[in-house]
Amino acid sequence: LCDRAGAAVRDSAADLAGCDLVIEAAEDTEAARALLNAAAQAAKPDAVLVVTSVDGSVIEQAMATGRPADVVGLHLPDPAGTLAEIAATVATGPDVADRAADLLGRLGLTVVRCRDRAGFIVDALRFPYLNDAAAMLGAGYADADSIDAAMMLGCGYPTGPIADLDRLGIDRAVTVLRALHAETREPALSPVPLLIEHVTAGKPLR
């Protein structure tokens, strides 16, 4: 995003005083919370605060800033792609998501919006499907090549679910599924044993 916008990456909260929009880009939720809180203190009173490193819903991080009306969530399903998902919380101000969407649109991204929930749109639909495929593989119902070929040739998917799991990262799949399960309590959204085993072993599915 910085490359698209010609903007600079800032390492110090003091550098954010004149910014109209601040995008947090931490590696995990706890680091994101600390960065977002620092940004909330340093940025302009009307600056939009965008959180990207969130496993579950955005509202908890938004409330921790003391400026929840200024916070939206952002998810880029493929950082090299052109889709951006924006999630507004129940506390987000009426024009804040519009301002974030306008900027992202001017950067050439297609913006879709959703309410605040784990997984946004893409991951909330993608990872349950991948979990089902892993369950099928783990049960010995079909091998990885057959599962992938069936979905590619039978449903027109560009890649199969087992290949997708290895490409996206099994650890990420487990993290997203746990967040979805924690929010919905749907048993089918709990990561299947095969995924847990491979994360523990540090091994891909193939």
Best CA proximity match to 53, nearest among 78, 36, 70? 36
User: Please, are residues 107 and 1 in contact by the beta-carbon 8 Å criterion?
Assistant: yes
What is the average pLDDT across 50-67? 87
Q: Could you give the CA distance from residue 130 to residue 128 in angstroms, rounded to a whole number?
A: 5
| Whole-model pTM over 0.75 | yes
pLDDT for residue 32? 75
**Domain spans of the chain, in order of start:** 2-115, 122-201
Q: Which amino acid is at 3?
A: D
Which of the residue ranges 71-80, 108-117, 135-144 would you say has the lowest mean pLDDT?
A: 71-80
* Contact by Cβ (8 Å): 70, 93: yes
pLDDT tens track for 173-203: 999 999 999 999 999 999 999 999 999 999 9
Edge-to-edge order in the sheet of strand 48-51: 21-23, 48-51, 71-75, 83-88, 110-115
pLDDT digits (tens, 9 = 90+) for 158-178: 999 999 999 999 999 999 999
Query: Mean pLDDT, the chain, as a whole number?
Result: 90
CATH number of 2-115: 3.40.50.720
* 24 pLDDT higher than 90: no
Phi, psi of 51 (to 5 degrees): -105, 130
The reported pLDDT for the residue numbered 38 is: 85
- Residue of higher predicted confidence among 10 and 19: 19
Long-range contacts formed by 151-157: CB under 8 A, 24+ apart:
none
Alpha carbon separation from 180 to 87, 91, 129, 190 (Å, rounded):
15, 21, 13, 8
Fold classification of 122-201 (topology level): N-(1-d-carboxylethyl)-l-norvaline Dehydrogenase; domain 2 (1.10.1040)
